[in-house]
Structures are given as structure tokens and as C-alpha cells.
Amino acid sequence: MNSRFGRIYPGVGVVLVVMLSLALSGCALPPLSDRPESQSIPAQQTASTRLGRAIAPLAAEHPGDSGIVFLQNAYDAFAARALLAEGADATLDVQYYIWQADITGILLLDVLYRAAERGVRVRLLLDDNGISGLDDILAALHTHPNIEVRLFNPFVVRSPKWIGYLTSFSRLNHRMHNKSFTADNQAAIIGGRNIADEYFGAGSGALFADLDVLAIGPVVNELSRDFDRYWASASAYPASAILPEPGAEDLAKVVETARECSASTEASQYVCAVSESEFLKNLLAGDLEFVWSPVSMVSDDPAKVLGEKTEKGLMSRQLAQAMGNPEHSITLVSPYFIPTKAGVEMFQKLERQGVQVRVLTNSLEANDVAMVHAGYAKYRKPLLEAGVQLFELRKVPGEEPVERSLQDNLMGSSSSSLHAKTFAVDGQRLFVGSFNFDPRSVHINTELGFVIESPELTQLMENHFEEQARVTAYEVVLDEDGDLQWIERNGDEEIRHSHDPGVGVLKRMMVSVFSFLPIEHLL
């Protein structure tokens, strides 16, 4: 290699050697021998907190059941997290795949900081792949006596992170996709939302239409135990072991940055919009109504990222067992839907048994990952031939102000990209969580969710699907010649498209090329 590249391109050999040296020297993770231990505080010990006093009478009226509230509206979802943090007196356990340094990300970090200043113990567990631009801030927060930050499956080389893939791809390809926010082991939020503006309707960009649930009752204890499992796992590294050491004044700078962010015009407009949240109004008025039902938590063993998974520890296996065998219907909402051949065969079998299968996913114009769409597109015909009803969320570009009114449904606003992950079985059981119906969720990433045994909430989700899918989505069908068609309904008007609507020929060709690549197992 030296003789060839050294003569023709003298600098190439040097660059390659430097890159390889960086990769090899930076791939070793530090030891965890000095990592401090901590566990969630039992709910019995937080019963006297403000949250505990508010929740205990409700839980006492529904022994064994958990209370659930849907958080469909983006503003409600932000308000719920902020209020839980403001209301916590003892602990905050927070776990996310993505946390961005934008309006909502900085505002929520500031809420956690203020809770720590009140004496609340804050444990923040973040996947290291989704915290771009936050290294200095997280390192500074970690110095607070009441805040501990851990990075899950971290990159040792911080910039550029992609160098880590040169020697550690098999490890770094696995990510913690879980999302949870738990206060005083009394109330928790789980679902599809990460912490970034596009999930909470902030800024001027498009919204990710998503779904979270606020939970109280016994399932919160299950979630806290699961957080402990991830917190103590072999992939959770203290921020101080990975991030550059902060300066003495860095925490003060973080606080000042948060104050400046809060005072900005865009943030002020957003906070005003959140103040009109229906969730916030109902909570302050004492009118927040929980639906009480048996709820169980399903999650992957964190050892999955290290290749130490067991069948029993796989969430996909737990989820299949918890949802049972469908007898009448399945209604599935997944932004990244790659059924694989095995999934198509399963749906074919269900349809032959008389089970109605309906699926909502993103159209090509609404999908934020074209390669994932390519993994799905090749299965559309087999699914339709099997009798599956297939809907793809439309995306109608438009400029909306930050104060925009967000629809209270799974589809979100007209400029949305679907991000909710939920499915219902037989009008009786409902799953909500982080799990996509794709190979990455099944085999590669870790996931988390709730199985809710509530006909009321299940039917609510199915009614939203029924009412909205034909209005905000294309229905994909086969014409008389067996070719795909997309039906767009605008009131009484019906438009039929013969190819993926809303995108140019170049993007459609790119998706076609991607569909032939042998990468389905990575999607």
C-alpha cells in the first residue's frame, strides 16, 4: 500500500495511518470499577412527596391497576414532562435515545437542573449516539452534587464520532432506543418521543406526530426497576469517564445559556403556546381523568447491545406473549415499517384466519429516512395481495407559526412525519412505546413499552385510526392490473396516483436502488 499510494498521493498514506492510529487508540472503553451504585427509591418511601400525596388516593381506589392518560398533543407532552420535573421532591430518573441542544432540549435540561437545586436526585441516562452538541453541557451538569449523567454504549473518540465505527461497528451499531421520564417513582411518561423540538411542536420545522402515555400506579414501579437495570448495566458509563473534564465555571455557563434560551423570542412564544395546553388546564383544574386498567411493562435486556441477548430477554418475544393471539383485528401504527418476509407470512396467515389487519406508516414524502422506506416498499404488493389494508401518512408542506394548533390525533398536523409506535389487538389490548415494526427494533436496538389491557383506550386509538387515516393518509391499493395506486381523499374529491405521491423521479429511483441492497437486517 505504501509503494502505490505513497508515490501517487503522498498525503493519503499519512492520513490513513493517522486515522487508523486514532481509531485503534480510541476504541478502548474505560473500566467501570469506580462507578457509584444507586437504585430507585421505593414508592412507599416517596408516598409523602407532593406527587405521592396526590396519587395515593387515586391508586387506592384502583388496587392492582395503573392509571393512563394519552399524550397525543405535542404541547401536552412537553407540559407533562416539565410539570413532573417541577413537581418532583425526591428523584427524577430520565432515559432517552435522542436529546438535542435546541429550545425544548435546553428548557428541559434547565428544569432538571432546577430540580437538583431543590435537592432532587437526578439520574440522566442518554444514548451516546443522539446527544450531538451536548458534551460540554452534560459534563458540566454531571459536576452538580445532585445530578449524575451516564452515557449508554459510548463513543470514546468524541469528534468525529464516526471514527469509532472503524473498529467497533458491531458494538456501536446497537443503540438504546428506550424513552422514559419518571418522577418520585410515582408518575412516569413513556412513548415514542425523544427530546427535540420536532417532537414537541417547537421552532419552525415539521412536527413528528407521536404518542406518549402518562402513567401512575404499579407499572411505574416496574419501570423504575427497569431503569435501575439499564443504569447498572455494563454499557452505562459515567459522563466523567467519557467526556472532557469541565472547567470550574462551566456549570454557571450552562445555567446562563439556559436563561438566555428561555428569554429568546422563539422560546417565549413556545412557552406561551404550551401554557394553553389542554393537559395543563385539566391538571390545574383537577380534571385530569386517568383510565385505570392492568398495565404491564415490556423491555429488552440491556445486554442485547453487547450480543448477550437471550430469547427470554427480547422485548419482541415478551410483546408477542403479552398481546396474545389476535382473533378479530390488528391495527398497527409504525413510522418505520419493515415487515420482512416472516412478517408478511404472519399477516397472510392472520388474514386467512379472518383477522382484519390495518397498517399506517409514513409515505415516501413523509419518511425522514429514505433507505428505511426502501426496506418497506418492496413488501407493499405482497401485503395488499394478502388482504392487509395499507395507509401512508401524507405530508402537505406549509409554513405554520410556532403557536400553531396541533391536532389531537395520532396523525398530527398536515406537515407531520409519523413517529408514533402503537398497535391494538381485538379492540382489547394496546401497546405504546418505542418499538418500531422493523428488524432494528427486533434484533439490534433496545426498546421499551407498555401493554395496556383497556378496551376504552384501545377503541379510542382505533377510532382515531378510522376517522383520520382516510383524511390525512393515502390509502394504498392494487388496481385491476395488480399495480400500486395511492388514493388521496380531500373531502368529496378523490385523486388516484400511480406512483409515490409528492416526490420526484430521482428520489423514487434512489429508493428503488436501495431496495436491492442486502441491508434489510440493519434497517
Residue pointed to by grid coordinates 436526585: 121
Torsion on CA atoms 47, 48, 50, 56, rounded to nearest 10: 40
Q: The C-alpha cell of 473 is what?
A: 393518509
Strand, helix or coil at 79? helix
Give me the catalytic one of 65, 184, 197, 212. 184
Is residue 26 packed enough to be buried (19+ CB in 10 Å), middle (13-18) or exposed (0-12)?
middle
**Same domain, yes or no, for 251 and 215?**
yes
pLDDT at 195 over 60: yes
- Read out DSSP for 308-363? ---TTT-HHHHHHHHH---SSEEEEE-SS---HHHHHHHHHHHHHTT-EEEEEEE-
Residues 218-236 have pLDDT tens digits of 999 999 999 999 999 999 9
- Determine what percent of the chain is predicted with pLDDT higher than 70: 90
**How far is 104 from 112, CA to CA, in rounded Å?**
12
> Is 348 within 8 Å of 383 (Cβ atoms)?
no
Of the listed ranges 14-23, 156-165, 253-262, the least confidently predicted one is: 14-23
**Same domain, yes or no, for 280 and 324?**
no
Residue 127 lies in a domain: yes
Give me the catalytic one of 304, 395, 421, 464. 421
Residue 10 lies in a domain: no
> Is 293 within 8 Å of 142 (Cβ atoms)?
no
Over the chain, what is the mean pLDDT?
Answer: 89
pLDDT at 405 over 90: no
Residue 239 lies in a domain: yes
Give me the catalytic one of 136, 228, 368, 426. 426
Q: Is-catalytic flag, 381?
A: no
Residues 33-51 have pLDDT tens digits of 999 999 999 999 999 999 9
Residue 73 lies in a domain: yes
Q: How many CB atoms lie within 10 A of CB 113?
A: 21
In this prediction, residues 488-511 reach a mean pLDDT of: 90
Residues of 389-412 as b/e, b for ≥16 C-beta within 10 angstroms? bbbbbbbeeeebebebebbebbbb
Q: Is-catalytic flag, 142?
A: no
Q: Is-catalytic flag, 177?
A: yes
Is residue 430 packed enough to be buried (19+ CB in 10 Å), middle (13-18) or exposed (0-12)?
buried
**Same domain, yes or no, for 112 and 210?**
yes
**How far is 465 from 331, CA to CA, in rounded Å?**
8
User: Where does the pLDDT of residue 20 fall: very low under 50, low under 70, confident under 90, or very high at 90 and above?
Assistant: low
Q: The C-alpha cell of 218 is what?
A: 404499579
**Same domain, yes or no, for 307 and 452?**
yes
Give me the catalytic one of 142, 174, 179, 395. 179
Give me the catalytic one of 89, 102, 135, 177. 177
**Same domain, yes or no, for 374 and 498?**
yes
Q: Is-catalytic flag, 179?
A: yes
**Same domain, yes or no, for 80 and 138?**
yes
Give CA separation, 451 vs 44, 56, 122, 375, 405, in Å: 24, 22, 27, 27, 30
Element containing residue 475 per DSSP (H, E): strand 473-478
Q: How many CB atoms lie within 10 A of CB 355?
A: 18
Residues 56-109 have pLDDT tens digits of 999 999 999 999 999 999 999 999 999 999 999 999 999 999 999 999 999 999
> Is 79 within 8 Å of 132 (Cβ atoms)?
no
**Same domain, yes or no, for 323 and 392?**
yes
Residues 371-383 have pLDDT tens digits of 889 999 999 999 9
Residue 39 lies in a domain: no
Is residue 129 packed enough to be buried (19+ CB in 10 Å), middle (13-18) or exposed (0-12)?
buried
**Same domain, yes or no, for 112 and 179?**
yes
User: Where does the pLDDT of residue 6 fall: very low under 50, low under 70, confident under 90, or very high at 90 and above?
Assistant: very low
Domain boundary among 285, 319, 334: 285
Is residue 354 packed enough to be buried (19+ CB in 10 Å), middle (13-18) or exposed (0-12)?
exposed
Residues 326-368 have pLDDT tens digits of 999 999 999 999 999 999 999 999 999 999 999 999 999 988 7
At 191, which CATH number? 3.30.870.10
**Same domain, yes or no, for 139 and 175?**
yes
Domain boundary among 285, 308, 341: 285
User: Where does the pLDDT of residue 11 fall: very low under 50, low under 70, confident under 90, or very high at 90 and above?
Assistant: low
Single pTM value for the model: 0.92
pLDDT at 408 over 80: no
**Same domain, yes or no, for 258 and 232?**
yes
Helix, strand, coil percent values for the chain (each to nearest 5):
45, 20, 35
Q: Is-catalytic flag, 93?
A: no
> Is 26 within 8 Å of 163 (Cβ atoms)?
yes
Residue 505 lies in a domain: yes
**How far is 390 from 479, CA to CA, in rounded Å?**
14
Phi, psi of 89 (to 5 degrees): -115, -20
pLDDT at 18 over 80: no
pLDDT of amino acid 205? 63
**Same domain, yes or no, for 385 and 440?**
yes
Please tell me the total count of domains within the chain.
2
> Is 201 within 8 Å of 160 (Cβ atoms)?
no
Residue 486 lies in a domain: yes
Q: How many CB atoms lie within 10 A of CB 466?
A: 12
Domain boundary among 285, 307, 342: 285
Residue 458 lies in a domain: yes
Q: Is-catalytic flag, 421?
A: yes
Residues 123-161 have pLDDT tens digits of 999 999 999 999 999 999 999 999 999 999 999 999 999
Give me the catalytic one of 419, 438, 464, 500. 419
In this prediction, residues 9-29 reach a mean pLDDT of: 55
pLDDT of amino acid 40? 98
**Same domain, yes or no, for 405 and 266?**
no
- Which domain does 370 fall in, by range? 298-522
